[in-house]
Amino acid sequence: MMRAMTIYPIVALLGLGTLGCEGTRHASPLITEYDENQASAELDFWHGLADEPVTTNNDAFHGLIELANETDPNTSYEQRVAWLTEQGLLDEGFDRPGDQAVLRGTVAQILCRILDIRGGLTMHLIGAHPRYATRELVFLEIMQPGTEQQALSGIEFVGTVSRAQDYDGRSP
């Protein structure tokens, strides 16, 4: 009887651990499908993003493509994933939904590739892995401290992109 009592808490903890596997979803991501010639729409995007509690994959990829390419020629999330993959900025097989909160590691990995940041010995050996890319951007003060598995709020993402622009001398 005593042995059975000690197993239940362990099983319960294991069960709770699996509940957090899916990332946070954002019910109303910003609209990124607008005429790219509308400068005011782009400003509205960046200002609106700063107020969001989380940055979605779709919104983050839109902003990162603009950083890399000056404009985002894509009209859908699927096109953004394909564009980033074709450019070698996003790993093949990326399968997270567009309305899911973007992970710091995903943003760091893409930024290291956009900015051609080589990092330390580990990044030289294995490339821009999300963990080491995040650590490198924290070291360079482009990204605020945190782990690669944490979501980015809108203001954190906007600040990270702004510091990345300063680092590289780019403008949006």
Say whether pLDDT at 38 is over 90. Answer: no
Task: Report DSSP state, residue 22.
Answer: S
Q: For the chain, how many structural domains are there in total?
A: 1
Does residue 98 fall inside a structural domain?
A: yes
Does residue 1 fall inside a structural domain?
A: no
User: In angstroms, what CA-CA distances link 96 with 23, 49, 77, 140?
Assistant: 9, 20, 11, 27
Does residue 3 fall inside a structural domain?
A: no
C-alpha Rg value of the chain to the nearest Å: 18
Q: What does the pLDDT look like over 41-79, one tens digit per residue?
A: 788 899 999 999 999 999 999 999 999 998 999 999 999
- Closest by CA position to 72, among listed 26, 118, 37, 117: 37
Does residue 108 fall inside a structural domain?
A: yes
Average pLDDT over every residue of 144-161: 95
Average pLDDT over every residue of 5-32: 47
Does residue 88 fall inside a structural domain?
A: yes
Does residue 146 fall inside a structural domain?
A: yes
Does residue 55 fall inside a structural domain?
A: yes
